[in-house]
Amino acid sequence: MKNNFYKRHKLSLTGLLLFFLAGSMFFLALPAGAETEAEPVYLVEVDGAVTAGLQSFLERQVENAEDEGAQLFVLQMNTPGGLVDATLKINELFLNADLPVAVLVAPSGAIAGSAGAFILVSSDIAAMAPGTTVGAAMPVAISPEGAEATDEKTIQFYASHMRSMAREQGRPEDLAEKFVTENLTLNAREALDEGMIEHLAGSLPELLEAVDGTEIEKQGVTYQLNTVDAEIIEAEMTLSERLQNWVSDPQIAFLVLMVGFLGIYFGLSAPGTIVPEVSGLVLLILGIYGIGLFDTNTTGIILLLLGAGLIAAEIFTSGFGIFGIAGAGSLLTGAILLPMEPLMEADWYATFLVTVVGTVIGLLIIVLVVAQRVLHSRRTHTGGSTYFKPPEKGVVTEEINPEGMIKARGELWRARSSDNQVIPVGTEVEIVKAETLKLWVKPFQESESKGNSNE
């Protein structure tokens, strides 16, 4: 009976088992389908000089792209060049990034001059829009006479560096070297024909379509690009990066440096003015940072220490608010420039910046109130106020030559002869003017005689 039941329903049981197996495979396939969704593409657009601020921004963005599992980092640039130190650090960043890096020279009419050529060569994927140009990467030295080619030793060093990057990225080494040694320039189509770039793309969507399905091998890892429908993530510079980018612009840095030197010069030429030398010192530090002699971390720490020193000088000297204002500005600038360290919490920096801003605002309010009070007291009529009314006459108790003492209203006062003549003890004097607790006097009899003669 049991065997008959099994034979009768054998087909049905087999079909039911196959149904469950098919359903299980369907549901197991769902997570795998979700995992194949295109990872995002990070985009940074650069229009201007390559600066320390841009370097800091790119470092943060590449790190974010790696953390978010992005499949590609794209730098779209239009630059005439920039700082050597920042450029070399960007080269290092792109060559060692844990994801493919693409550089697109766009839009049409854009250039990748000097530093831009170094950055293009260091990329894993190089592309240019029609009508763009790359090259002219010979390093120059800036002097009072203007910009001129640097020495041969420096040129050969950077030519070798360019050749090394081109070899690493599979690009023509001789042409890359000529960018530096001969100021070679190539338009987009020439660069494509010579193998300096891999794609001719007028925009980011064109580039993403062109590289879709491409395999990039980097540091022993193969990356498969699926970029057609990928999400584009574009971030903006932070306040610190904007300030760094502005100050480290070569033209701005040069102007800031010159104004700093002039401030210190005029301050030393006219001792006691305080404003030119203090302002010049702060601007000089920013100018030195801008031309690349100080790194961001060093500049931030120097400005923080300078700010603390200026505020201390305001407290212990009569700076009339100048030291305090300069110190507050230096503190704020140093706090903004202070870079984030990997081992510190991001929230700590936000709290630190808010604390510094609050402290600076409080100090500025105190300094301005004190300065206003000091100026007001100096402009107040020297004859006195409700709380201080100087006497009108007195008697000399200590010879005035040209200073001495007088007795007036039963009190002893420090006095000075108004015309620098000697006034002996016992002479009755008239108070001409009063300044703080010192009186300017002249003999009272002389005043009376003059009055009688006028009558």
Partnered with residue 203 across adjacent β-strands are: none
Task: Sketch the domain layout of the chain as residue ranges.
Answer: 41-234, 239-379, 393-447
Residue 244 to residue 48: CA distance in whole angstroms = 14
> Which residues, 6+ apart, have CB-to-CB distance to 60 below 8 Å?
238, 241
Residue 45 to residue 53: CA distance in whole angstroms = 13
Residue 90: strand, helix, or coil: helix
Residue 50 to residue 280: CA distance in whole angstroms = 26
Partnered with residue 74 across adjacent β-strands are: 43, 102
Residue 227: strand, helix, or coil: coil
pLDDT given for residue 296 in this prediction: 62
Residue 387: strand, helix, or coil: coil
CATH homologous superfamily for 393-447?
Nucleic acid-binding proteins (2.40.50.140)
pLDDT given for residue 386 in this prediction: 43
Backbone angles phi, psi at 227, to 5 degrees: -105, -5
Residue 94 to residue 83: CA distance in whole angstroms = 17
For 290, other C-beta atoms within 10 Å of its C-beta total: 28
> Which residues, 6+ apart, have CB-to-CB distance to 76 below 8 Å?
43, 44, 45, 46, 103, 104, 105, 106, 204
Residue 455 to residue 270: CA distance in whole angstroms = 49
Is the peptide bond preceding residue 80 cis, with omega within 30 degrees of 0?
no
Partnered with residue 102 across adjacent β-strands are: 74, 125
> Which residues, 6+ apart, have CB-to-CB distance to 357 below 8 Å?
332, 335
Residue 8 to residue 11: CA distance in whole angstroms = 8
pLDDT given for residue 174 in this prediction: 95
Domain 41-234: which topology?
2-enoyl-CoA Hydratase; Chain A, domain 1 (3.90.226)
Give 175-201 as a DSSP string: HHHHHHHS--EEEHHHHHHTTS-SEE-
Residue 401: strand, helix, or coil: coil
The two structure tokens encoding residue 185? 């320039």
| Nearest by Cα to 208 from 125, 134, 132 | 125
Residue 405: strand, helix, or coil: strand
CA distances for 403 relative to 193, 313, 423, 425, 429, angstroms: 93, 33, 9, 12, 13
pLDDT given for residue 372 in this prediction: 66
CA distances for 223 relative to 33, 70, 198, 219, angstroms: 19, 11, 17, 11
| Nearest by Cα to 93 from 113, 66, 130, 126 | 66
For residue 413, the surrounding DSSP H or E stretch is: strand 411-417
Each residue's pLDDT, cut to its tens digit, for the chain (455 residues) gives: 445 544 554 545 555 455 555 555 544 444 443 444 679 999 999 998 898 888 889 999 999 999 999 999 999 999 998 888 889 999 999 999 999 999 999 999 999 999 999 999 999 999 999 999 999 999 876 554 555 667 888 899 999 999 999 999 999 999 999 999 999 999 999 999 999 999 999 999 999 999 999 999 998 899 999 999 899 999 888 777 787 778 777 778 778 878 877 877 777 776 666 777 777 888 877 777 776 666 666 666 777 777 777 767 766 665 556 676 777 777 667 666 665 443 344 454 456 556 666 666 766 676 666 666 666 665 554 444 444 577 888 999 999 988 899 998 878 888 999 888 899 998 999 988 887 678 889 887 654 444 444 44
Residue 140: strand, helix, or coil: strand
pLDDT given for residue 95 in this prediction: 96
